[in-house]
Amino acid sequence: MKLPFFGNHPGRVFKSNGIFLQVFIEDHGGGSDASWPARYKNLRIFHIMPAQQENNMNRRNFLGSSSAVLLTSAIASHSQELQSAIKGRQDKSATNPGPENQLVRDANPNTFTPPPTDHGEVQAFWSSFSTAHRRIQEGGWTRQVTIEDFPISKEIAGVNMRLTAGGVRELHWHNAAEWAIMLRGAARITALDNDGRGFVKDLGENDLWFFPTGIPHSIQGLPPDGCEFLLVFDDGHFSEANTTQISDWTRHTPPDVLAKNWGVAEESLASIYAGPAEGRFIFQAEPPPALSEDIAALNSAAGASKTDFSFLMSRMPATAKTRYGEVRVVDSANFAVSTTMAAAHVIVRPGGLRELHWHQNADEWQYYIQGKGRMTVFFNGGKARTADFNGGDVGYVPRTLGHYVENTGDTDLIFLEMFKSPRFSDLSLSEWVTNTPPELIRQHLGIPRTVLERIAPHKPLITPV
């Protein structure tokens, strides 16, 4: 029996009984006319996708639906447990007469019909800003994802904020360091460094800032339409509701003490005590003057700060680039002030994969900026779970757990990998199997050397290379 549709190309995808299979052909060098029995011996299932992803898979070498016999044969090589999981997806076992929240279900196809390789109960590692409460005030809004409603996120919390043109996130500091990326628009940021010198700068899309714990700062949206940004804190317990704000602190200091502190008349401070009891937080103000004017004011005081709290990632070349994506790593090696946070900004083209890897040094907190993807996290002891992600979602991978992120959409998938660590660090499955004696790998996984030799002997970050 000939299988002409395989040709010389491994990795082809086909459909059978509503299931998509991607088959890796180990011996593909002998042409397309090999006999069926010989070909069958060399088949390995590499990847199984649920039927909902038909449109997506059609784009990727979809070959037809005449391979039921091949599916059955391929399943036979799996454990009984995996066979059952695969067959359950083909017969009535997986039907769901309802009730169902259709919108949530449709956004999570890999939860509704998990890959058969998923197994066991694991803590949820998916959350979303889109289900977080928005605190809306004149001048903008904020929402947060913290350990309170995302229990796995012990090391990092996130805040998503929008400020209008002139809208101010008031002068404040907090008991956690703040890493930030501008998502849309532009803002003016200010800070005071450890030497008591002021810092002011205007930042645009894809630029970053970092304020260490206890460093006071502010953010103000610039014309024409203000900004939206993401804040990442190196403590899962951080809350925007618990920061030290200048209007809050001064309002709760006796007027005579405040007057004595500054050497001014008590009556001149009356406006402070007319403010809200919990501080102003976000408020609408006039857009700031020209940047040069603000800088000149600093220079006439104690002088401008010598610390750069900002990083222009918008001008940074890619740290790594392949046909299917690019990665920018920003940590204390190139952004000196960011001593407790490391970041990787990842772009995965349609069909690409952020390769199987793990991080030795910290938990990973992810923010999905745009696109559609899925991630499987392997929790050891036979446990693995796959979740879907869209723009605005948050993912979390506890330290050292293996994972990948695959672009399952038709546009670029862009996301952030954030770590509570001075340096970005990871190791990949490809590095592991290609830098270990091949005979030892063969004895573990049954993979012959001819196959191992095809695996890139380095860490591409994004595959295919």
Active site residues: 417
**Angstrom distances, CA of residue 246 to CA of 42, 113, 218, 252, 286:** 69, 51, 10, 10, 19
Spatial separation of the C-alpha atoms in residues 204 and 419, rounded to whole Å: 23
Smallest distance from Fe ion to CB 209, Å: 10
365: which 2 tokens?
A: 């907190």
Between 13 and 344, name the residue whose CB sits nearer to Fe ion.
Answer: 344
Smallest distance from Fe ion to CB 429, Å: 12
End-to-end CA distance of the chain: 33
Place of tokens 């095809």: 454
Cβ-contact 279, 250 below 8 angstroms: no
Smallest distance from Fe ion to CB 353, Å: 12
Smallest distance from Fe ion to CB 366, Å: 8
Nearest one of 344, 327, 345, 367 to 231, comparing CA atoms = 367
Strand (E) or helix (H) holding 452: helix 449-452
What amino acid is encoded at 181 in this protein? Answer: I
Between 118 and 240, name the residue whose CB sits nearer to Fe ion.
Answer: 240
Spatial separation of the C-alpha atoms in residues 200 and 208, rounded to whole Å: 14
Nearest one of 33, 15, 31 to 23, comparing CA atoms = 15
**Interacting residues with Fe ion (CB under 5 A):** 178, 364
Between 150 and 238, name the residue whose CB sits nearer to Fe ion.
Answer: 238
Strand (E) or helix (H) holding 368: strand 364-370
The CB density around residue 249, as the number of other CB atoms within 10 Å, is 14
Between 72 and 400, name the residue whose CB sits nearer to Fe ion.
Answer: 400
Spatial separation of the C-alpha atoms in residues 218 and 241, rounded to whole Å: 15
Between 25 and 344, name the residue whose CB sits nearer to Fe ion.
Answer: 344
- Tell me if residue 206 falls in helix, strand or coil: coil
Spatial separation of the C-alpha atoms in residues 457 and 435, rounded to whole Å: 7
Nearest one of 254, 274, 169 to 211, comparing CA atoms = 169
Spatial separation of the C-alpha atoms in residues 341 and 223, rounded to whole Å: 30
Smallest distance from Fe ion to CB 173, Å: 7
Place of tokens 């209008």: 164
Between 364 and 393, name the residue whose CB sits nearer to Fe ion.
Answer: 364
**Dihedral sign for Cα atoms in the order 404, 405, 407, 408:** positive
